[in-house]
Amino acid sequence: MQNYYLKFFLKGKENPFIYQVSKQTVTRIEECLLNRNSVTDGGFVEIEHSSKNQNIYIKISQVQMCQVLWDYGVVESNNEKEAEFYSLALVLNGIEEIFYYSEVEADDLEEIIDSVMSITNYSPEEFFIRVVDDDGEVNLVKANDIVLMECLVNHIVDEDLSFEHN
């Protein structure tokens, strides 16, 4: 049985929380974050930490980002080479790390931008977008916590899209 790791960035917490989980838990958590109807009335999601034989309960409103990792180790993700070649960079409120994505397809990038730009006061606070990183690992990012997006314009502009510069 292959294990996965869920890496949660929570509001007001300097360091992320990491849990070893099964594939079924990954699928369920991804569904919960992308589909608000799957969360309990109290707004918590349950995680079964397989290596410690314990259950963890996380309040969805406090999750800024959840990374689904195939492997977990100490990896420096903010190197200069990575920062030079990206199609999307995200900065989240209160998190020092900048998240770079170099292999985001133009259609996916356009959908991410449209989703984030269409947030209104009536949008649910727990609205997450899905971005796949360069390793093929899923990142679920709370759209309301995105404070800056850098996009490679040539990556999203095509003949059918009228792009207005502000």
Instruction: Tell me the HSE value of 28 on the side-chain side, using a 13 A CA sphere.
Output: 12
Determine, yes or no, domain membership for 162: no
The answer to the question of residue 163 being in a domain is: no
> pLDDT at residue 2 above 90?
no
Q: Domain residues for 70?
A: 4-156
150 within domain boundaries? yes
State percent of the chain over pLDDT 70.
75
Handedness of CA 103, 127, 141, 59 (dihedral sign): negative
Average pLDDT over all residues of the chain:
80
pLDDT at residue number 152: 75
pTM (predicted TM-score): 0.78
- Tell me, rounded to whole angstroms, the distance of Cα 75 from its chain centroid: 18
**What would the mean pLDDT of 80-94 be, rounded to a whole number?**
78
Kindly state whether residue 81 falls inside one of the protein's structural domains: yes
How far apart are alpha carbons 88 and 35 in whole angstroms?
A: 24
pLDDT value at position 118? Answer: 79
Rounded CA-CA distance 142/33 in Å is 9
For the cut 70, the answer to whether the pLDDT of residue 72 exceeds it is no
Instruction: Evaluate whether residue 95 is within a structural domain.
Output: yes
Residue 164 within any structural domain of the chain: no
- Number of compact structural domains in the chain: 1
What pLDDT does residue 65 have? 95
Residue 10 has pLDDT above 90, yes or no: yes
